[in-house]
A and B are shown apart, each in its own frame.
Chain A
Amino acid sequence: MWKLFHQFGSPPHFYRLAGYLIPWFGAAALILILIATYGGLVLAPADYLQGDGFRIIYVHVPSASMSLFAYTLMATAAGIGLIWRIKLAHAVAAAVAPIGASFTFLALATGSIWGKPMWGTWWAWDARLTSELILLFLFLGYMSLRAANDDVGKADRASGLLAVVGVVNVPIIHYSVEWWNSLHQGATIIKLGKPAITGDMLWPLLMMLAGFGFYFATVMMIRTRSQVLQRERKSQWLKSL
């Protein structure tokens, strides 16, 4: 197992593997997102209450789940980097932060656009929108702390520690805000028993989630590769590439 760990932690190995995987993941993302868009915008029936307005769910929900996933991934990578001093893990965390921030922003923007026709207002201090806003600040804090450190190694460890402290705090923030106020509709997919959403509407959503996941992985690998290039610019294996 340790051998595998070291192999994955080796920048040249990652660089090659990612270079091989990127086109495949990108293609999968493109195909899934295209089919899901067709399914969501054309095939799925209009909602009996929200009409066609609900269709923004196909962007909003995947962005929101990607934003949370990105933060968890970033903190896990940063934690691995801090504990085992694996530079590649720090490179992953550094690469993920802006993607996560963008997805968070997208979730906020689509939530706001969705809120206008449904709640009659662009912004409501609704629990999940608010936790998403705080998540955006957590990402921005991480990125600013990274930018404030000139030395890459120090920036890695300082921002990594912040991410680890943040990820412990995220559930507390989430539940405190939830308890503070909620007018958001209940969760529709993850529910024990039958989902509260019809199958025609559900499959494009799940497909879109998978598509966003592949897209996320693709961008993450591209960004991590460029991080690796930057960090290893003086190393031998890069010169022989």
Chain B
Amino acid sequence: MSGPMSGFGTVLARDLRLAFRRPGEMANPLLFFVLITAIFPLGLSPEPELLRTVAPGILWGAALLSSLLALDLLFKNDYEDGSLEQLVLSGHSLPVLVLAKTLAHWVVSGLPLVLAAPLLASALYLPAHAWDTLMLGLLIGTPTLSLLGAVGAALTTGLGTGSALLSLLVLPLATPILIFGARGVDLAVQGLDPVGPMYLLGAILFLAVSLLPLAIATAVRISLD
């Protein structure tokens, strides 16, 4: 029980191990991401010109929705079997522990999206020179989505309201990420410098990492009352 970050590694390793034991659940957000992206060409038209224009929005919207989908499970199992209570009582700093949980969740549900993004981008005829902006944006944007989502997940855990309420809580808060992320890709497609939105995404990530664990920890404590 020494140092402010104690318990971080343990929780991270535990959550990752649990996730890897259930590969089916792990694949769900990724499948969802692919499905949503596939739905748009079906609904719009297979025309490359059109798809190229809407690709940044579709990809970012799909990433936002799939990171929401996985949030239900973030605290649910731990809440039900009582291990969430044990985390609170463990004597370690709770914000650090929930940060570890959120990081594990991101590795399982956010990182695959980043890696799969170029494949889907090419399916939507997004020019290859915009792929690195897309990946970079997702890489620094999706952790913020996970952190914001973790607040919502912690607040709704144990309410039994399902994911509709969670979406209502999280989606409005996540709009800046969507805007900056999609606009960055847009700029890159047009051959302009996307560094502005990327910096903003980075700034929001730093803000989120420093403040939101406190909010998540408070939310967990409220839910356990």
Binding site for B on A (CB under 8 A): 82, 134, 137-138, 140-141, 144-145, 148-149, 153-154, 157-158, 161-162, 164-166, 168-169, 172-173, 176-177, 179-180
Stretch of B2-10, B63-71, B120-128, B171-179 with 4 or more beta carbons under 8 angstroms from chain A: B171-179
Are B173 and A166 in contact, CB atoms less than 8 angstroms apart? yes
Q: Interface size bucket, B side?
A: 20 to 34
Residue among A134, A140, A176 with max Cβ neighbours from chain B (10 Å): A176
Task: Please state if A173 and B176 are interface contacts (CB–CB under 8 Å).
Answer: yes
Contact of A154 among B168, B175, B222 (CB under 8 A): B222
Q: Cβ of A158: which chain B residues have Cβ within 8 Å of it?
A: 155, 219, 222-223
Give me the 9 closest cross-chain CB pairs, A-B, nearest first: A176-B176, A137-B172, A141-B169, A141-B168, A176-B179, A157-B222, A148-B161, A134-B172, A172-B176
Q: Which residues of A contact B175 (CB under 8 A)?
A: 134, 173, 176-177
Q: Provide the residues of chain B in CB contact with A177, threshold 8 Å.
A: 175-176, 179
Give the CA-CA distance A172 to B69 in the complex, in Å.
Answer: 24
Q: Given B204, B218, B225, which contacts A172 in the complex, CB threshold below 8 Å?
A: B204
Shortest A90–chain B CB gap in Å is: 12
Known: A148-B161, A154-B225, A173-B176. A162 touches B171 (CB 8 A): no
Within 8 Å CB of B156, what residues of A?
145, 148
Complex A-B: 29 CB contacts under 8 Å: A134-B175, A137-B168, A137-B172, A138-B173, A144-B168, A145-B156, A145-B165, A145-B169, A148-B156, A148-B159, A148-B161, A154-B222, A157-B225, A158-B155, A162-B169, A164-B215, A165-B173, A165-B212, A165-B215, A166-B173, A168-B211, A169-B176, A172-B176, A173-B173, A173-B176, A176-B176, A176-B200, A177-B175, A179-B179
A74 to B: closest C-beta gap in Å: 15
Q: Confirm or deny: B105 has a beta carbon within 8 angstroms of a beta carbon on chain A.
A: no
The yes or no answer to B60 lying at the interface (CB within 8 A) is no
Inter-chain contact A161/B219, CB cutoff 8 Å: yes
A161 partner, pick from B159, B200, B215, B225, beta carbons under 8 A: B215
Tell me which residues across on chain B come within 8 A of A157, comparing CB atoms. Answer: 222, 225
The B170-225 residues at the A interface (CB cut-off 8 A) are 171-173, 175-176, 179-180, 183, 200, 204, 211-212, 215, 218-219, 222-223, 225
User: Do B169 and A161 touch across chains, with their CB atoms under 8 A apart?
Assistant: no
User: Given A161-B155, A162-B155: A144 and B165 within 8 A (CB)?
Assistant: yes
Q: Which residues of B contact A144 (CB under 8 A)?
A: 165, 168-169
Is the C-beta of B151 less than 8 angstroms from some C-beta in chain A?
yes
CB distance from A164 to the nearest CB of B (A): 7
Q: In the assembled complex, which residues on chain A have CB atoms less than 8 Å from the CB atom of B212? A: 165
Chain A residues contacting B179 (CB-CB under 8 Å) are 176-177, 179-180
Q: Chain A nearest CB: distance from B154 CB in Å?
A: 9
Give the Cβ gap from B185 to chain A, nearest Cβ, in Å: 14
A15 to chain B, nearest CB (A): 27
Using A148-B165, A161-B215 as known contacts, say yes or no to A180 and B183 having CB atoms under 8 A apart: yes
Chain B residues with Cβ below 8 Å from A164 are: 215
Pick the contact of B171 from A82, A137, A145, A149 — CB < 8 Å? A137
Min CB distance, B102 to chain A, in Å? Answer: 14
A105 to chain B: closest CB distance in Å? 15
> How far in angstroms is the closest Cβ of chain A from B144?
11
A168 to B147, CA, bound (A): 14
Instruction: For the complex formed, measure the closest distance between the CB of A129 and the CB atoms of chain B, giving whole angstroms.
Output: 14
